[in-house]
């Protein structure tokens, strides 16, 4: 993303010590399928570029810092540019909801199970506003309502989906927020092995507290 909120860079020193190294059994899924990929879209909000998650037939979840102060954004699906409106934001959880016309995309299912230490996850989005990627990694833990994984994240993936596997199905476990960083010689340096997301419970709370409609599959 061309404009990035540096306050979202998470110092690795504040979180590594809270993660258990206990290995637990995990469920297996292949890389995200085409249906899952279609539910992650590209968002353009002025000079800011990010990713979004289709959660109902006409609503998309993204990061609040992607849309910033914009009220109108553009959703890019293939060659289509679809105008949309920002209808709700919550800066503390870094969540925003966008509404548009009915989309030709099935919304992704929300996770219902607790994540296991070291289970596989995928951080999906559009780094630098380019082609979509599904960066695999391991779930590390949850700290102060934020989900940490080893999936690599870059500019432009903010607002994208953190995907997990439940009963052999890809589900939304969180929304990608930022990559982690360490301070070297007074400068924050991006880490490839640690990223942070807003968890699915916070997403549910954001949607229900604002009395916002959700897909019947996610209620």
CATH of 34-210, one of 3.40.630.10, 1.20.1080.10, 2.40.10.120, 3.40.50.150: 2.40.10.120
In sign, the C-alpha dihedral spanning 170, 174, 176, 181 is negative
Structure confidence at residue 219 as a pLDDT band (50, 70, 90): low
pLDDT at residue 188, rounded to an integer: 80
Question: In the predicted model, is pLDDT for residue 175 greater than 70?
Answer: yes
Mean predicted confidence (pLDDT) in 53-71: 94
Mean predicted confidence (pLDDT) in 57-66: 96
Domain boundaries, the chain: 34-210
b/e sequence 77-97, b meaning 16+ C-beta within 10 Å: eeeeeeebebebbbeebbbbb
Name which of 31, 17, 50 is nearest 148 in CA terms.
17
186's CB contacts (< 8 A; 6+ apart) are none
- The number of C-alpha atoms within 13 Å of 78 and in the hemisphere containing its C-beta is 5
C-alpha dihedral (85, 215, 198, 92), degrees to nearest 10: 50
What does pTM read for this prediction? 0.82
Question: In the predicted model, is pLDDT for residue 140 greater than 50?
Answer: yes
């Amino acid at each position: 993303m061309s404009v990035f909120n540096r306050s979202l860079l998470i110092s690795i020193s504040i979180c590594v010590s809270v993660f258990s190294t206990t290995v637990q059994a995990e469920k297996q899924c292949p890389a995200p399928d085409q249906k899952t990929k279609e539910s992650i879209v590209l968002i353009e909000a002025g000079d800011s570029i990010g990713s979004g998650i289709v959660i109902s037939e006409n609503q998309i979840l993204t990061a609040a810092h992607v849309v910033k102060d914009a009220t109108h954004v553009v959703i890019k699906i293939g060659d289509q540019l679809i105008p949309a409106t920002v209808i709700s934001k919550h800066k503390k959880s870094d969540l925003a909801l966008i509404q548009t016309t009915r989309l030709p995309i099935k919304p992704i299912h929300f996770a219902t199970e607790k994540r296991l230490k070291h289970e596989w996850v995928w951080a999906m989005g559009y780094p630098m506003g380019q082609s979509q990627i599904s960066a695999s990694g391991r779930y590390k833990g949850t700290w102060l309502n934020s989900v940490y994984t080893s999936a690599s994240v870059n500019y432009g993936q903010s607002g994208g989906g953190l995907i997990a596997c439940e009963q052999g199905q890809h589900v939304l476990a969180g929304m990608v927020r930022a990559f982690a960083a360490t301070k070297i010689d007074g400068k924050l340096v991006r880490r490839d092995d640690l990223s942070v997301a807003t968890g699915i419970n916070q997403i549910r709370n954001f949607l229900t507290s604002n009395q916002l409609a959700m897909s019947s599959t996610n209620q």
